């Protein structure tokens, strides 16, 4: 498996640190950029053309849904994996409509992130267990 380039976008330093810790376990991933808001996530995606962006849904300046819409235009090959505290199936559905390939609840981050990343990289969809029963 080749190395997959990743941008991480989350406004919270503690969450970013946890994401880095989990992603570092996979030697096939290389974090090439970090963003702390939605506009910066779009800029990093355009400039760096990552294969994957792991992005908080509730980013300042430009929310994750709007950022995803723009990322799909500026980096069409980039797969989007959302992280969120929001367990409302309607929100998850909106994320998938805007091009998300995965949706991980932050409460399940430690358990689900590595599996979600692998699934998304392989072209599959992933959704946290709590939402798995809902049609996305």
Task: Dump pLDDT digits (tens) for 47-99.
Answer: 999 999 999 999 999 999 999 999 999 999 999 999 999 999 899 999 999 88
Task: Dump pLDDT digits (tens) for 3-28.
Answer: 999 999 999 999 999 999 999 999 99
Bridge partners, 83 (sequence order): 56, 104
Percent of the chain with pLDDT over 70: 96
Write down the domain spans for the chain.
4-131
Average the pLDDT over 108-114 and give the result.
95
- pLDDT higher than threshold 60 for residue 135: no
- pLDDT higher than threshold 80 for residue 1: no
Q: Cα angle at 101 between 97 and 107, to 5 degrees?
A: 100
Choose which CATH entry (3.40.50.720, 1.10.357.10, 3.40.50.2300, 3.90.600.10) describes domain 4-131: 3.40.50.2300
Mean pLDDT computed over every residue of the chain: 93
Helix/strand/coil percent split, the chain, to 5: 45, 25, 30
Which pTM does this prediction carry? Answer: 0.93
- Residue 110: what pLDDT? 95
Cα 99 from Cα 129, distance rounded (Å):
20
């Amino acid at each position: 498996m080749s190395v997959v380039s990743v941008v991480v976008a989350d406004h919270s330093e503690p969450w970013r640190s946890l994401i880095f810790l989990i992603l570092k376990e996979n030697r096939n991933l290389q974090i090439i950029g970090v963003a702390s808001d939605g506009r910066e996530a779009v800029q990093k995606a355009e400039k760096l053309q990552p294969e994957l962006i792991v992005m908080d849904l509730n980013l300042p300046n430009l929310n994750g849904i709007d950022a995803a819409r723009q990322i799909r235009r500026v980096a069409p090959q980039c797969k989007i994996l959302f992280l969120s505290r929001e367990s409302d199936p309607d929100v998850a559905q909106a994320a998938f409509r805007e091009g998300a390939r995965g949706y991980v609840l932050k409460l399940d981050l430690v358990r689900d992130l590595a599996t979600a990343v692998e699934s998304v990289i392989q072209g599959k969809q992933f959704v946290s267990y709590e939402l798995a029963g809902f049609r996305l």
